[in-house]
Amino acid sequence: MRHLLTLENMPRAEITRLLDRAEAFRARGEQRALLAGRTVLNLFFENSTRTRTSFEIAARRLGADVINFDLSRSSTAKGESLLDTLHTLEAMKLDALIVRHNENRMPDWLAEHANSMVSVINAGDGSRAHPTQGLLDALTIRQRRGDFENLAIVICGDIRHSRVARSDVHAFTALGAHDIRLCAPRALLPEDANEFSGCAITEDFDAALESADVVIMLRIQKERMAAALLPADSDYFAQYGLDLRRLALAKPDAQVLHPGPLNRGVEIAGEVADGSQSRILDQVANGVPVRMAVMAELLTPSSP
């Protein structure tokens, strides 16, 4: 593996190996000799709090030098200028480019045009993929539940625009899940249901929650839709918000996940986000060893 662009079609063995490696890093903490002398560049064309920080901490714990290139306010355009940016960065002998972009497949485009040995890691492209989030969500679920085969997993919220939902479904399906329920109001359901073949799709959140083992809540991605699609916050919470009453419809020990950023009172009640079934901070914590595992895998190909 040279790049990590998507989890689509990634074999179960490969995902399991990354999760096992992440568990080993979680137990062991730092391993600063592993990427000593290597340079990793964070190239974020979209805002990010946890993903960028988590990549930075992960790279440092492996001993790499990290450079943060904040492009969110610049007007870097696609085409020639991005190619120039890429080659300029490559000339500085980078080992990995961690890319977040609002256009689908931009990390793939960079990987195709990279002419050195640089590895491209997708930190979220448009609505298409967020592979490290898919991996950390899988790890968070696996820590308490082990096997995915018998799990009922609900993903509720802005499925249409969610790269997290897509990468989660790819990871969970590869790991053997076959009861994945996607729930949203019609305007936020996927335009092409074939993209999520194998998942149940519903607008009825209460019904979807019945006997669920895992409930993943998603933010409404206002930045990816026309204002006309947007429901009012209070109407949305009434129908699709996860509060304690609704959570009681799931299994008593159901786990609640959310990739963040949270909008309390819109898709999730504070009492649930802060409650005993919430795994939200475990997800954040798991982000670091998962990203350590990915970087170790891509940048030290000969290591076991």
Q: Which of 6, 42, 51, 140 binds ligand NCD (CB under 6 A)?
A: 51
- Choose between 53 and 143: whose C-beta lies nearer to ligand NCD: 53
Query: What's the closest the beta carbon of residue 93 comes to ligand NCD, in angstroms?
Result: 28
Q: Which of 130, 170, 251, 279 binds ligand NCD (CB under 6 A)?
A: 130
HEC per residue, the chain: CCCECCCCCCCHHHHHHHHHHHHHHHHHCCCCCCCCCCEEEEEECCCCCHHHHHHHHHHHHCCCEEEEEECCCCCCCCCHHHHHHHHHHHHCCCCEEEEEECCCCHHHHHHHHCCCCCEEEEEEECCCECHHHHHHHHHHHHHHHCCCCCCEEEEECCCCCCHHHHHHHHHHHHCCCCEEEEECCHHHCCCCHHHHCCCEEECCHHHHHCCCCEEEECCCCHHHCCHHHCCCHHHHHHHHCECHHHHCCCCCCCEEECCCCCCECCCECHHHHCCCCECHHHHHHHHHHHHHHHHHHHHCCCCC
How many binding residues for ligand NCD (CB under 6 A)? 11
Q: Which of 15, 44, 59, 124 binds ligand NCD (CB under 6 A)?
A: 124
Q: Does 140 bind ligand NCD (CB under 6 A)?
A: no
Q: Does 134 bind ligand NCD (CB under 6 A)?
A: no
Query: What's the closest the beta carbon of residue 47 comes to ligand NCD, in angstroms?
Result: 8
204-233 positions binding ligand NCD, by CB under 6 A: 219, 221
156-185 positions binding ligand NCD, by CB under 6 A: 163-164
Query: What's the closest the beta carbon of residue 108 comes to ligand NCD, in angstroms?
Result: 17
Binding to ligand NCD by CB under 6 A, coded x per residue (else -) over 73-112, reads ----------------------------------------
Both tokens assigned to 177: 């899940």
- Choose between 111 and 280: whose C-beta lies nearer to ligand NCD: 280
Q: Which of 131, 134, 260, 289 binds ligand NCD (CB under 6 A)?
A: 260
Q: Which of 16, 26, 50, 104 binds ligand NCD (CB under 6 A)?
A: 50
Both tokens assigned to 203: 């607008």
- The contact set with ligand NCD (CB under 6 A) reads 50-51, 124, 130, 133, 163-164, 219, 221, 259-260
